[in-house]
Structure 1
Amino acid sequence: MKCIDVDVAIVGAGSAGMSAYKAARAHTDKLVVIEQGPYGTTCARVGCMPSKLLIAAAGTAHVIDGSAGFGIEVAGRRIDGAAVMSRVRRERDRFVGFVLDTVDGWPEAHRLQGRARFLAPGVLCVNDDLRVNAARIVIATGATPNIPAGWRERLGDRLIVNDDVFEWTTLPDSVAVVGTGVVGLELAQALHRLGVRVRLFGRGGRAGPLTDPVMQSAVKAWLQTTLPYSGNASDLDARREGEGIVVEWRDERQAPHREHFDYLLAAAGRRPALSGLDLDKADIPLDDKGIPRFDRDTCRISDTPVFIAGDADNDLPLLHEAADDGRIAGRNAGRYPDVRAETRRTPLNIVFTDPQMAMAGASHGELTSSGVAFAWGEASFADQGRARVMGRNQGVIRVYGDRADGRILGAELFGPDVEHLAHLLAWSIQRGDRVSDALACPFYHPVLEEGLRSALQGLARALRDQAGGSPP
């Protein structure tokens, strides 16, 4: 078996792995990146970018569908599924191409193609014919879709995951979407707006990442009027029937239902892609789910010279978090044993449904479980001026503030284009702004940001009432 010695070995060339490579290379040129699949990152190939391309097409169709409400008649409306998917794939390939250009710019000696697994602490085997002795290792293997046991065997090629959607050459007639997380919500709504018959299945009635009960109620009420939705499906079963599948389930009243679809899209989350790494031979501590125990501020696994970054760590599966993980892990692996904790950015999460969902800073659930004394302010988009002008007056936002000092702690948002409001809030939270600081900033008229001001004003009143006078 051939053998090489390196300072740093990075397993995985996704967003986290690429970021780790750039950071580690600032400290050593004796490193390799090992990738068993195609280069291109999850975001560019099957995640952020192709999904937004599909959502953009769906949004255009929805605008046309709603044009009559503005007194505009659109004749001859037709959705060309082949043309829609041609643009999705074409633009997707363009984004992937940018990533490939970056990888092609790396020295060839830094790129190893193949499957890596641990032989011993600090020792990796690639493709069973190459031994890599690495002084430090970064695990950046990403994540893989969850597929319920037995479904692949029963449904065959009628079972798909989000990766498969973006290889379609046209749109199907019908899709059952199982899972009400970010992927399930985004793709179900997009396909529905593009004329695909969709039913979205969930369990327990929860939909999306928002944790505030008020926000969850708003999301569920919206879903009930947006697309066929079974949020409390039980005894769900799927099987092949002819060229499609049949899904059977019971609703919250235990009434049985049966519906035929072309495909079943499994969107029940993703899990770290760690199987096959033989982590048991790496001498690193694992939790009860088989995930390495690590320090989020250093990305170091216990007191070992092994680091973990991106979706592989099962922490915050978001591109910007993966890139930050990679940067921290790469720096610490590169300059090891000088391991330094780095300040993390304010959490920010966005779901690109319409209305959008977003979270900035601490969530309602996190604040409640932490025991922090907090107040909240709320604003509805139902009568918000700009939202009504656009005919998009749905949703609600809640902003949370510290009762002790008036700092903005977090927010959960559901409404039109709240991606922008969430960014404003995340920046304020990271600066340590108090509610009074945010309200001292300018708000133009008429803009959606006025809805945020209303929520902040409500929060200021709650803090003032608690303080018995002026807010802290």
Structure 2
Amino acid sequence: MVNRATKPKRFDRNLIVIGAGSAGLVSAYIAAMVQAKVTLIEAHQMGGDCLNTGCVPSKALIKSARVAHLVSEAARFGIKTSAPTVDFQAVMQRIREVIAAIEPHDSVERFTGLGVECVQGYARFIDPWTVEIDGNSRLTAQSFIIATGAAPLIPPLPGVENSGYLTSETLWEEFAKRPAPPERLVILGGGPIGCELAQSFQRIGAQVTIVEMAERLLLKEDPAAAALVTARLHSDGVEILTGHKAVRFETNKCLMVEGPEGERRLAFEDVIIAVGRKPRIAGFGLEELGLVADGKLPVDGFLRTNIPHILCAGDVAGKQQLTHGGSHEAWYASVNALARPFKKYQADYRVLPRVTYTEPELASVGLTEAEAFQKGVAFEVTRYDLDDLDRAIAEGERCGFVKILTAKGSDRILGATVVGEHAGEILTEITFAMKHKMGLRKILATIHPYPTWSEATKYAAGQFGLARKPIGLLKWAERWFRWQRG
């Protein structure tokens, strides 16, 4: 452990942020807004994974894939047309254009204008108060926020190093060179990334196989909701091998998997590994400071490492792996860094929504039924099926439901799952209500425009009320109105 008595008497900066993804950008922004002197250091691209290889390009791909699928289903809406022809290079070009259109939001120019000093280079801790950039210049700071993100986890399968595998980070550059999508695409991992990529590439011309070791896809999500996503993937033509474990890669682009019926050989043109992500912690001098344990960067509830003036936010903290979650953590990390030692706030993850952008979308917030059972929380379930929603009927998108967990004997919302068209948008009202401690009766009392998808939450709240009608009072009311009629 480095001697902490090396603390300098004067500092170059109030705060140094390492990494310019969502967590780093928000951390630097907050510091600049309160007039702290802040430096943001990024070795690669501003915007991090989300802008360049994650959220933005994947959602652009999903849109193109959905358009292709909609054209193929046009007859369902009374429109006669020929089957869509996918120009794969045009799709990839559009993805690049979308990234370019959003880049200014995360650019050096914007953040410099906000008062953030932006430095390109690799930062490495020399001691707890000093970082060295590219082995040259050094800066000291009162506090640091590590926001270096995470990288795809590559399992140690025999032959993986020679398999030519791709990840959610590398596929974009590789496919930008291709005239067409891969004919046979294998995706390892049935989580959100694997499912989104599988459906999209299947819809634009690839034959996709998902290999998932667990017994079902989207293991963290409500089983009934995940089943609807799985059914849609099946109907799109995706082959789904749940309960199958990847065993080894063989020559000539083959993957051996083992399932209930023994080993099976999967030939592929490309394979995407999407089994998870691991924190980016190597090369920053964190090991030398004693901050790394078992390949992770442990932090407390205030996002502090075991050196309290060095904090973390985003994927590297390992609490969650969501862009908006990184921004959420950035508020706590930056405030806790800048307000030391007078004030500190414990990060709150109770109302952190997440969305899987398949079709149908799957969105959730708070507790699932399984989590509530595990925690021993007494709850009740209210479900409203979207096949009853007028807007869903009109648009021909009746698949899905809203499921809300409430505390037993109360309308207080413990969690919710929405699966269906615009599930992420529908969930927002529930998330707002949970954050501000408003129950289902408040949602029911809110006027929702007709016909909209947002009415699904109101009707779910209505289902809650119908199941709890005051039967005794209604019987007296019936007698009263009968008496009034004479």
TM-score, normalised relative to structure 1 = 0.88
Partner of 2:345: 341
1:338-372 per-position Cα deviation (integer Å, ceiling 9, x unaligned)? 33216747211111110000012333343223322
Query: 1:238 aligned to 2:238?
Result: no
Whole-angstrom CA distance in 2 between matches of 1:364 and 1:11: 38
Query: 1:93 aligned to 2:104?
Result: no
Partner of 1:328: 332
Structure 1: where are the runs of 5+ without partners? none
Whole-angstrom CA distance in 2 between matches of 1:377 and 1:104: 45
Partner of 1:128: 135
Give the alignment partner of residue 304 of structure 1, picking from 280, 301, 308.
308
Partner of 2:480: none
Query: 1:427 aligned to 2:432?
Result: yes
Q: How many residues align?
A: 459
1:257-316 per-position Cα deviation (integer Å, ceiling 9, x unaligned)? 3232211111112111112233233254x5655222222xx4333571111111111112
Query: 1:266 aligned to 2:266?
Result: no
Counterpart code for 2:258: R
1:380-418 per-position Cα deviation (integer Å, ceiling 9, x unaligned)? 334544323322222233111111432122101211111
Partner of 1:6: 13
Relative distance call for 1:212 and 1:464 in structure 2 (3 A) is: farther
Does the CA contact (< 8 Å) of 1:176 and 1:199 recur in 2? yes
Q: Tell me the CA shift for residue 187 of structure 1.
A: 0.9
Counterpart code for 1:173: E
Give the alignment partner of residue 65 of structure 2, picking from 58, 61, 79.
58
1:45-93 per-position Cα deviation (integer Å, ceiling 9, x unaligned)? 1111111110110010011111122232112631111111111112212
Does the CA contact (< 8 Å) of 1:364 and 1:412 recur in 2? no
Give the alignment partner of residue 218 of structure 2, picking from 208, 212, 216.
208
1:187-210 per-position Cα deviation (integer Å, ceiling 9, x unaligned)? 110111111111111111232264
Relative distance call for 1:283 and 1:26 in structure 2 (3 A) is: farther
Does the CA contact (< 8 Å) of 1:177 and 1:200 recur in 2? yes
Q: Tell me the CA shift for residue 325 of structure 1.
A: 1.8
Q: Tell me the CA shift for residue 336 of structure 1.
A: 2.5
Whole-angstrom CA distance in 2 between matches of 1:270 and 1:406: 37
TM-score, normalised relative to structure 2 = 0.85
Q: Give the 5 Å matches for 1:269-418.
A: 269-284=276-291, 288-295=294-301, 298-302=302-306, 304-341=308-345, 344=348, 346-418=351-423
Structure 2: where are the runs of 5+ without partners? 1-9, 475-486
Partner of 2:195: 185
Counterpart code for 1:281: E
Partner of 1:137: 144
Q: Tell me the CA shift for residue 14 of structure 1.
A: 1.4
Partner of 1:162: 168
Q: Tell me the CA shift for residue 435 of structure 1.
A: 2.1
Whole-angstrom CA distance in 1 between matches of 2:114 and 2:466: 59
Does the CA contact (< 8 Å) of 1:210 and 1:359 recur in 2? no
* SS of structure 2 residue aligned to 1:75: coil
* SS of structure 2 residue aligned to 1:190: helix
Q: Give the 5 Å matches for 1:442-461.
A: 442-461=447-466
Whole-angstrom CA distance in 2 between matches of 1:162 and 1:334: 35
Whole-angstrom CA distance in 2 between matches of 1:326 and 1:11: 12
Does the CA contact (< 8 Å) of 2:157 and 2:248 recur in 1? no
* SS of structure 2 residue aligned to 1:183: helix
Q: Tell me the CA shift for residue 376 of structure 1.
A: 0.5
Relative distance call for 1:449 and 1:104 in structure 2 (3 A) is: closer
Select between 56-65 and 203-212 the one with higher mean Cα deviation.
Answer: 203-212
Whole-angstrom CA distance in 2 between matches of 1:108 and 1:217: 48
Partner of 1:441: 446
* SS of structure 2 residue aligned to 1:279: coil
Relative distance call for 1:460 and 1:203 in structure 2 (3 A) is: farther
Partner of 2:256: 248
* SS of structure 2 residue aligned to 1:248: strand
Counterpart code for 1:353: T
Does the CA contact (< 8 Å) of 1:176 and 1:261 recur in 2? yes
Percent sequence identity over aligned pairs: 25
* SS of structure 2 residue aligned to 1:397: strand
Does the CA contact (< 8 Å) of 1:13 and 1:41 recur in 2? yes
Does the CA contact (< 8 Å) of 2:51 and 2:103 recur in 1? yes
Partner of 2:156: 149
Whole-angstrom CA distance in 2 between matches of 1:96 and 1:279: 30
Partner of 1:176: 186
Whole-angstrom CA distance in 1 between matches of 2:142 and 2:367: 37
